[in-house]
Each structure stands twice: as structure tokens, then as C-alpha cells.
Amino acid sequence: MQAPIPSETRIDVSQLRQTLGKPRAQLKGRQVLPEARADVQALIGLAPAEGHRRDLLIEHLHVLNDHYRGLFERHLVALAAEMRLSVVEVFEVASFYHHFDILKDDQSAPRLTVRVCDSLSCSLAGSDTLLRQLQAQLLDVKVVPVPCLGRCEQAPAAQVGQQAVAHATVAEVSQRVSQNQTQPNALPHAVQLKDYMQSGGYRWAQQLATGVCEAESVIQQLESSGLRGLGGAGFPAGRKWRIVRSQAAPRLMAVNIDEGEPGTFKDRTCLEADPHRFLEGLLIAAQVVGIDAVYIYLRDEYHEARLLLTQALAELRANPPCRLPLIELRRGAGAYICGEESAMIESIEGKRGEPRLRPPYIAEVGLWGRPTLEHNFETLFWIRELLDNGPEHFSAQGRHGRQGLRRFSVSGRVQNPGVKLAPAGITLRELVDDYCGGMAEGHTLYAYLPGGASGGILPAHLADVPLDFDTLQPYGCFIGSAAVMVLSQHDSARDAALNVMRFFAHESCGQCTPCRVGTEKAAQLMVNKVWDTDTLQDLAQVMGDASICGLGQAAPNPIRCVLNYFPHEVGAAV
């Protein structure tokens, strides 16, 4: 028989119920400091009655990061409370993006951050030496290597705070640091709205709005021109418009100006020259497809372009040529993966930029579950010209049996790097000789990357292959965003492959194991004087077959190209 419970240990059940029924004096976990909440409210404003918008989390993080030169934990906790989110949710988003610096409350924020590009074109121009010298000299600021800054034609490129430094030197960067020149200088000289309107700008947007021009006619002209998406995938633009237009409303649009592919800078160059040409293409697409809201995703490294585009949007809203859809400009935060369309959509929604599994495709289920038209900047930049001159003019261009025009971002060992508007199908040899003034003095062609870091590496004896969609695949490469990086006899294909593999390892979102582990392991193996070809080929196969998105699927291209075309550099059997 069980012994009776001593009276001194008996529980007063009624008292226990009263205790359990009382609310906690405070929530579990870290508490919101009143002064931290006041700091956050002063920067992002008081919450409206319906609360802060969840999708603006990254924008709010930018505001805090810019003001305090970092994200202090006390402010992240306060931001979570203000936005009615869990602290974990805010931390996981903030920690995903490279441009957010999370700091302990007892840490000091760096006075200034200097970023030095270490991607291939800048590395060829001596950025590694520049980085070491700046780190040794600028002891009171944070000096860090970063992936491509989108200024490959200005190599070596750097950023002092938010100010870009072209052809950076130790002396110039040091001077800007000492003078605290951290904000963009005068905006690039771009076509203003008045001048753009006088040259016939926004005529097509107005004609669509008034019914003078029909949406079906515009789609047919796009289809006849053969215009394809110029962000890398090359999907026919007219067909994409037709697909999204057939979906149930409301429909949305997401514009990708997050050109993080090493070697690519054409979108920045065009935007800084003629922002309204892009905005007219955006309005035409919105009217033809029936778009209710547009979200423009601009990479964070383009501070000057962001100010310029903000100004152009203000001009457009003050003098609209037609009814405007909702247009929001969103700021990336240093994540190459957000150039992938579904990862960009996740980021616009205020989340980690991790690619989605497909199907469903974003044309059917995109932003907030709605049909979404996703476009690259340059694709929209072409729309007015195609309508002005007719589709036949565009399709009549081209060389070697190809059709159309392409903007090539050319960098590396050429005399005149930059954005080159050239016929589709032009060869690398023709592009360098006819548009770049030939190879740089003292350099002869050794190899080239036809499509940025992802597009593979080809030797000089294949410099007569047409550069266009579908022409490079037989050689294990692709054109992508037409970022052409040229190597000479002073360079090494294996070093170039290692540089881009380190880039992929740094930029992998980590969602899938083949990419997360494969890129890191490949970079480790590629340092060896003699490559373990069997293991590298196995890694390449797994990454290509099992990665969720194009980053991991394309990462093996440099490995395969070096093994195929440059085996003498890695001790591999020919």
C-alpha cells in the first residue's frame, strides 16, 4: 500500500491553478530595450494600425545598417518586436546577406568599410596586391575583399562606404578615406525626362493607354523580332508576356537589376545613361501583360544608379505619360544568388534569398503566390527600340547565321574594355579586334570566359565560335549574360577557374548540399598542384545533376573546361 504524502509536501491545487493562469511578467527570451525600440522607431517610423509590412524587413535592415554602420543585436530584437516577427526570423534574414554586419551590443561598429573586388577581372588588374596594401595601411577602418562590384571595365574596383572607386589605387582610396568621401558623388550624366519626351519617349506607353496601339500587336512584334531574355536564360520575351497575360489577375512584375555575375556590368552602364528608356519598356510590358504592381530589384553595390533611378521615378510620377502601376524600388543586400528569379522573389518578400523548387513556375505562382512577369533590365531596355524600328530591323542584325544584337560586357586583357553593342553571333576574335581595339599591349589571346563565371572557359583556338544562345553548349559553355573576360599568355586558366569556384563557394545560399559542399570541396581540391581529376569529375557530376538552381548546376563548368582544354595546367592526362 502507498504511503500517504506528508502534509508539508502536499500541493494546493487551487493555488497552483491560480499561479499557472497568471500571464508572465515578460516574454521568454531577450527583452526589448526601450531605448533600442526608440532608435528603431526614429528610423523606420511608427507602425501603422495594420502593422509594418513584412516584405519591408530588408529595407528596414538597410536603414539601420546604414545609420549605425552595422546591425546591433539590441536593434534587431527591437525591430522584431516592431514588425511583430520572431527574433529568429529577423536574425536569419539579416545573417543571410553579406552587406549586413551583425554586431554584439558591446562591440564597436567600424568607422568605415572599404570593399575591394577580388573577382577575376579585378584580380587580373592587381586587386589582390591592392587589398593587402590597404589592409596594412588603413588600420582604423574595415577593409575586406568582396565578390564582383559590377565595374569590371574599371578594374581594379573598390568602394569606400557607398562611393565607387574606378581603377582604384592605394593613394586614391586612402585619400577618400581620410576625407570621409563615403557617399556617391554627382550622379552620372543621364538623359533627363524632358529630353527623353522630346525625342519621342513614352509615345508607345501613351498609345497603349489610349488604345491606339493594341497589346496583341506588341506581343507579335516581340515574337517576330526573336528577342530573348538577356539575363542569362534566354527565354523568348514575347512568349513570356503571352504566358503571364493568360494567367488570372492580379498579375505582378519583378525586374532583375541584380547583375552579380562576375564580368557583367551592362545593366549598370545602360541605366546610368538612359533610365527612362528602361522605364518606358517597363510601362509597356505592364500595360500589355496587365500588371498591377512592379518591383525593381537593384543590387546594393549600385548606389549611384539607385539615386539616379529614384530621381527618374520621381520625375515620372510628377509627370506621368499614362496611368502608372505601383512601382517600388527594392535594394539588394549583397547576395549573388538573388539574381536567380525565384531567389529574387523571396528577397523582395523580405526573406532569405533561397531559390524555390519548381514547378510551379513564377509565371503562375510568383510574388505572394500571384502570376509574375520576371524580366532582366536589358530586355526591357530594348522594347522601345524594337517598336520604333520594327522587329525586322533587330532580327536583320547578326553574324554567322545568328539574328539580333547583343550588349557584351568585355573586360580583362583588352585595349578598350566596356559594354559593346555588337551583332549576335560575333566571334571573340572579331569582338576583340573590331570593338575593343585589340588585345592590351604586351598580351596575346590565351583563353576567354564567354559567359562570366558560370559560362565556362575556352582556349584561343576556339576564338572563332559564334557568341550567342545555343552556339557554345557543344563546347561545354554558354553565353549567359554575355560577360566576356579575356585572358592572355600571362594568365592561367586553372587560376581563373579557382577564382570563380571560390566565388561560387562564397555565394552559395547553402540550401542544397550538392552546391553548398560541392563548391567548397572543389575549391579546396583545385588548389593542389596536380588535380584529383576523378574526384573533381565526380563533384562536377553531382553538382550539375542535383543542385536546386543554376548556381550549383553551372559551377562545374570551369572544372570541366580546364580538364578538357587545359589539362597541361593541372597535370591531367590529355
Tell me the pLDDT tens digit for each residue of 191-211. 999 999 999 999 999 999 999
Tell me how far apart the alpha carbons of residues 486 and 323 are, in angstroms, rounded to a whole number: 45
- pLDDT of residue 269 exceeding 70: yes
CA 25 to chain centre: 45
pLDDT at 7: 54
Question: What does each C-alpha distance from 489 to 441, 446, 447, 493, 540 come to in angstroms?
Answer: 12, 5, 8, 10, 27
What residues contact residue 557 under an 8 Å CB cut-off, 6+ apart? Answer: 454, 455, 456, 457, 476, 477, 478
pLDDT tier at 26, thresholds 50, 70, 90: low
The DSSP 8-state label assigned to residue 63 in this structure reads H
Q: What's residue 14's pLDDT?
A: 57
Q: Write down the mean pLDDT value for the chain.
A: 94
Mean pLDDT calculated for residue range 172-191: 91
Question: What pLDDT is recorded for position 234?
Answer: 84
C-alpha cell at 236: 523568348
Phi first, then psi, for residue 271 (nearest 5°) are: -65, -40
Q: Which of 191-195, 234-238, 364-368, 569-573 has the lowest mean pLDDT?
A: 569-573
pLDDT score at 28: 67
pLDDT tens, position by position, 400-453: 999 999 999 999 999 999 999 999 999 999 999 999 999 999 999 999 999 999
Q: What is the Cα–Cα distance from 555 to 540, expressed in whole angstroms?
A: 8
17 has a pLDDT exceeding 60: no
- Predicted confidence at residue 10, as pLDDT, reads 53
* Band of pLDDT at residue 25, cut at 50, 70 and 90: low
Provide mean pLDDT across the span 124-147: 97
> What pLDDT is attached to residue 187?
82
27 pLDDT band (50/70/90 cuts)? low
201 φ/ψ angles, rounded to the nearest 5 degrees: -65, 145
In 3D space, the residue among 493, 397, 378 whose CA is nearest the CA of residue 446 turns out to be 493
pLDDT digits (tens, 9 = 90+) for 317-357: 999 999 999 999 999 999 999 999 999 999 999 999 999 99
First to last CA, the chain: 87
Which pLDDT score, from 0 to 100, does residue 144 have?
Answer: 98
H or E element at residue 140: none
Q: How do residues 356-372 score in pLDDT, each as one tens digit?
A: 999 999 999 999 999 99
pLDDT of residue 200: 95
Q: How far is CA 238 from its chain centroid?
A: 24
Buried/exposed 467-495: b ≥16 CB within 10 Å, e otherwise: bbbebbeebbbbbbbbbbbbbbeebbbbe
**Rounded to 5 degrees, what are φ and ψ at 484?**
-105, 120
Phi-psi region of 408 (alpha: psi -120 to 50; beta: other; left: phi over 0): beta
| pLDDT band, residue 16 (cuts 50/70/90) | very low
Q: For 222, how many CA atoms within 13 A lie in the half-sphere containing its CB?
A: 26
Residue percentage of the chain with pLDDT more than 70: 95
Query: Is residue 378 pLDDT above 80, yes or no?
Result: yes
Of 465, 494, 496, the residue nearest 478 (C-alpha): 465
Average pLDDT of the residues in 561-565: 98
